[in-house]
Amino acid sequence: MLLTRGLTSNFDSVCALYARVTSAMHEKGIAQWNWGTYPNADQIHKSIDAGTLYVVREGNTVVAAVTLDSTFEPAYDAVNWLFGGKPGTFHRLCIAPEKQRQGLGRGMMGEMLAILRSQGCTALRCDTLVNNSAALTLYQKIGMRIAGHIRYSSLPDLRFAALEMRLTNDCPLLPLKMHPAFRGGKLTPWGGEKLRTVYGKDIREVPTGESLEVSCIPGLESTDDAGVKLPDLIAAYGEAFAGEYAKKPFPLLLKLIDAAEPLSVQVHPNDDYAARVENGKLGKTEAWLILDAPEGSQLVYGIKPGTTLDTLRAACEQGAAVEPLLRRVTVHPGDVCFIPAGCVHAIGAGIMLYEIQQSSDITYRFYDWDRVDKNGNRRELHLQKALDVTDLTFSLDPIPAPNKPVARVLDEKYFTLDLVNVQGEAVLPAVTAFGLLTALDGDLNVRFAGGQLTLRKGESAYIPHTAPVLTLGCGCYRTTAQKRPKRGNKRVKRP
């Protein structure tokens, strides 16, 4: 054993060690410590009295010291930690300059982790200055991840990396706020700027039509606070993070959409067609929750009854002649539209919506309202593929906004969709493989044992497979979507 509990008789030696190490850090340009301020003699004394100080001795000389406990600075509350349960930490890890780079730090870390586990800790959290490369290298070598960054009020000009690791196999994984990717410019010529003005999104250009809130689409992945992409998080934390999808393609994609102008009339293939024609990709079934819609807003929701495929083909070949064949429905904020593969659809001008869908980017356009870009070019259409997959029998109606605090509005083959109007508190239903949570009207506090996560209006979180019980607080409207458990292809009855 390297570590033994620090004793009162070690006090002077420990203080001298911290003074020497602080001086050596300053010589390297690492200014996170100032002996006498932090760390200081009073802290050392209190750690010895509490039995939380551990030291490494060589004879009568202390060559390393650290404090182990479960107390955290208030700044830690702002970090979006992944590993929950009972976290432990260490403070003021200090190794004599002449003993550094000899494996002592790694040996100490192994014993520190064992001590914390013996105290019932399920996770480890710590921080270090971002330019303390030796500490960062050591911590990451033992498996710690950067969860985010913090600043201390006493050191406002310094930025610290917040790191964590799980200590036990049963450590619960906490909700992670996701940072979106965006589609804009010529990819969404129908978009606007409401993603910024309504939801505070940091869009890069106008128009921007899509905020990909939770995404594994290559090149458009969402990330955590430290910039780690969702596919990399799944690969790193496996079944505890994504359930059965740890080793399968991630199945869902969550978006917020701003349609300043109408979207193209389009349709998506099912899984079988996509696998056969689109190189093994997933098909695309989706659902919309209308967030904002001017009075009288309409969207295209299927083809008018009695239309034949030949009639539809001939009209599409003429362009605007297809418009009279489109089935239009009026929608209001709170309405939900289920869009199975094969349903011809188009979002109307002025509508903002939340979209949950299979993780697929396959869209076949019938018609784009004769729209041209600044160079007079039209967007590509995919008439034959669109006709191949169109379901002319589709006839569902929008589901009106439910008048209840909690409502499961969809329970489909690919996902479930719950709407919750949080007044006071509400316990979130347990997820199956994983869940996706979005705050849509005001800020949302997501509480769990030992902490909470705040989602601002328009922000989304990924809920891991092993998340603890989550309680939602404060008054706001939110949605939760999750991968549907395997129970067959049941559909809920619609009003």
C-beta of residue 63 within 8 angstroms of C-beta of residue 56: yes
* Cα 357-148-353 angle, rounded to 5 deg: 25
Q: How far is CA 331 from CA 186, 292, 350, 434, in A?
A: 27, 9, 12, 30
SS3 readout for 394-447: CCCCCECCCCCCEEEEEECCCEEEEEEEECCEEECCCCCCCEEEEEEECCEEEE
C-beta of residue 54 within 8 angstroms of C-beta of residue 130: no
Three-state secondary-structure class, residue 312 = helix
C-beta of residue 45 within 8 angstroms of C-beta of residue 133: no
* Residue of 82, 88, 180 lying closest to 125 (CA atoms): 88
Which 8-state DSSP code applies to residue 100? T
In a 10 Å sphere around its CB, with 0-12 CB exposed, 13-18 middle and 19+ buried, how is residue 37 labelled? exposed
Q: How far apart are CA 252 and CA 242, in angstroms?
A: 12
Is 125 tagged catalytic? Answer: no
Question: Would you state the structure tokens that stand for residue 257, as one six-digit string?
Answer: 């959409």
Q: How far apart are CA 343 and CA 302, in angstroms?
A: 6
* Residue of 158, 164, 30 lying closest to 94 (CA atoms): 30
Task: Say which residues have a Cβ less than 8 Å from residue 184's Cβ, sequence separation at least 6.
Answer: 191, 203, 204, 205, 206, 207, 208, 209, 210
Q: Which amino acid is at 5?
A: R
Determine if the peptide bond prior to 39 is cis (ω within 30°): yes
In a 10 Å sphere around its CB, with 0-12 CB exposed, 13-18 middle and 19+ buried, how is residue 265 labelled? buried
C-beta of residue 151 within 8 angstroms of C-beta of residue 78: no
Q: How far apart are CA 173 and CA 234, in angstroms?
A: 12
Q: How far apart are CA 164 and CA 140, in angstroms?
A: 9
Determine if the peptide bond prior to 324 is cis (ω within 30°): no
Bridge partners for 155 per DSSP:
152
Q: How many CA atoms lie within 13 A of 205 on its CB side?
A: 14
Write down the catalytic residue from 166, 365, 478, 484. 365
Task: Say which residues have a Cβ less than 8 Å from residue 278's Cβ, sequence separation at least 6.
Answer: 269, 362
Q: Which residues are catalytic?
A: 365
